[in-house]
Amino acid sequence: MFRYCGITSVACAAALLAACGSDSPTAAPAPSTAHGTLAVSPPLRIASVDAATFQAQLGASPSGAQLLEVAGAPICGVDFYYMIFWTLGALGEITQSSGALMVPTGAAPACSGPRPIVLYGHGTQFEKSFNIADATAFTTTNAEGAVVAATFAAQGYIVVAPNYAGYDISTLGYHPFINAQQQSGEMIDALAAGRAALPTTYAASTSDNGQLFLTGYSAGGYVAMATQRALEAANQTVTAAAPMSGPYALEALFDAVVTGHVSLGSTLFSPLVTSSYQNAYGNVYNTPSDFYSATYATGIGTLMPTTVTPYTALFTQGLLPELALFDSTTPVVTVPNDPTLSTELTDLLAVPTVNPADPVTALFAAGFGNPYLINNSVRVDYTLDAAADPDGTAVGSPALAAAPPSYGLRLDLYTNDLRNGSWAPNSPTLLCGGENDPTIFFSVDTLTMAAFWSTLPPNTVTVLDVDPAAGPSGPFAAIQAGFQESQLQLLAYLQTPAGGGLSLAGAQQALLEQYHGTSVPPFCSLAARTFFSQF
């Protein structure tokens, strides 16, 4: 049975940081509520660790040692600050948001004085309580924060990372998920707040040197690219960017999912997407039951991000299906006066055939069942729209559909697709991911964006597949080799008694389940840091 694993990391079993505690100079509410300003100043320091202690504690567990092996030994200590700042929701409503300011500390030259900033977008989180600033939760709910701290902050980068509106202390009643305008705006607000907070920290001698690097993973990869676009449009400095495994080509990705390529985690992502766009545009449905099956429609508009912990209890409580995004009964599509197209589209919506030699096909087929999440009528209407105005990827082009879609959800995806408009990066950009990703498809998203920008000057956009079928090569060969070796080691471990004693097929399935959430992030993060070090 496939199970979705959210973003964790090789740091999951690391010990809690030493010297953790809450301290700061006297803080007070700030007088302004303008977006981009601190709501509380100075920010609270919630943890502090020196380089030697950080290394020792990570090295005390096998998974922490693996993170050290990928990220490298810490050069700097890290102070973790919790920021609360003002930002805007999707409709321009003012709301508080929160996030992390990670400041390198220590005697090494790379750890103080003028330092570059990494503005980081975190991946999809399903629990509303998520707080990337909380270093005490590295072993539980904040493993992504551990990767960011070890890879960037402990190597001398100042890190600013928002939690996003709708999470943590934000009172916004929804999360503007994959909303390019809102999320890029919030990233820019977090950056402004972080820069304002930096001189008030205990490491006030550490300052912004003017270099700005953008990165993020999964949904955060999308957010990083949207932020790059927004900053460049405003003629603001972006030194370089490294979006990682993001759903950049939204229309193409959802077209693939609706026609049977059901990505792992879709039953969790779907209510985040529809809640976001329903709140922003009001065109996804008239009532939730128009879109969602009667089994799950009640309350789904406010279900995500969830207050249920752990989020996997959503499945056991019957609030979401674990895998069955779609009905296993194939809907019949009728195109007036075109029986051939009617048959083709109906066949397109059938349950995928499982190929025993390809575990991904089993994953796609597992996305169908009963009870299911999304009504067949949605798939039919969406597919008719896609047939009328196909995404360019369906006809061998990286372009969007030639005309804006008519179907509400697809129009929203088109609006937020990062191919929309004439923008192309003018700052050096690394696109990192893994070609076997079962959640955010490498070919549909990363390679589509690369093809969309194929006419840019050489070296503007670099594409890195950490898991190339042809084997490691090029400037990132060591990272590719490290990733593939880690996959082989994990595959072997899963077949041992300690790893569960799985069959080879079972181990391959488990490996696929962990690919997006746990395997790729540390290696793409290292690639991003390696890329940034050139500038």
Mean pLDDT by 10 residues, the chain (535 residues): 42 36 59 90 95 88 83 97 97 97 97 98 97 84 91 98 97 97 98 97 94 98 98 97 98 97 97 98 98 98 97 98 98 95 96 88 94 98 97 95 96 98 95 97 97 95 98 97 96 96 93 94 98 97
Query: Tell me, what's the pLDDT at 11?
Result: 33
Distance of CA 157 to the CA centre of its chain: 21
The reported pTM is: 0.94
Would you state the structure tokens that stand for residue 192, as one six-digit string? 């402004």
Report the alpha-carbon angle 193-43-136, nearest 5: 115
Report the 3 state secondary structure along 466-532. Answer: CCCCCCCCCCCHHHHHHHHHHHHHHHHHHCCCCCCCCCHHHHHHHHHHHHHHHHHHHHHHHHHHHHH
d(CA 211, CA 115): 8
Q: Give residue for tokens 């190597």.
A: 155
Those residues whose C-beta lies under 8 Å from the C-beta of residue 475, and which sit 6 or more positions away, are none
Those residues whose C-beta lies under 8 Å from the C-beta of residue 51, and which sit 6 or more positions away, are 73, 74, 75, 76, 77, 106, 108, 111, 154
d(CA 266, CA 260): 12
Domains and CATH numbers, the chain: 20-248+427-532 (3.40.50.1820), 250-401+409-416 (no CATH)
Nearest to residue 232, comparing CAs of 448, 368, 425, 417? 425
d(CA 311, CA 216): 22
Report the alpha-carbon angle 471-476-482, nearest 5: 65
Q: Which of 416-440 are b and which e, b meaning 16 or more Cβ less than 10 Å from the residue's Cβ?
A: bbbbbeebbbebbbbbbbbebbbbb
- For residue 404, whether the previous peptide bond is cis, meaning omega lies within 30 degrees of 0, is no
E strand residue ranges, 331-405: 368-369
The sheet carrying 158-162 orders its strands as 20-23, 44-49, 77-88, 94-105, 158-162, 114-121, 207-217, 240-244, 429-433, 461-465
d(CA 387, CA 259): 11
84, β-bridge pairs: 98
Q: Kindly give the pairing relationship between strand 461-465 and strand 28-29.
A: unpaired
- Residue 244's alpha-carbon distances to 42, 70, 271, 517, 525, in angstroms, are 32, 16, 23, 12, 8
3-state percent breakdown (helix, strand, coil) of the chain, nearest 5: 40, 15, 45
SS3 78: strand
Would you state the structure tokens that stand for residue 509, as one six-digit string? 């399935």
Distance of CA 274 to the CA centre of its chain: 17
d(CA 27, CA 25): 6
* Contact present, 191 and 158 (Cβ < 8 Å): no
Those residues whose C-beta lies under 8 Å from the C-beta of residue 474, and which sit 6 or more positions away, are none
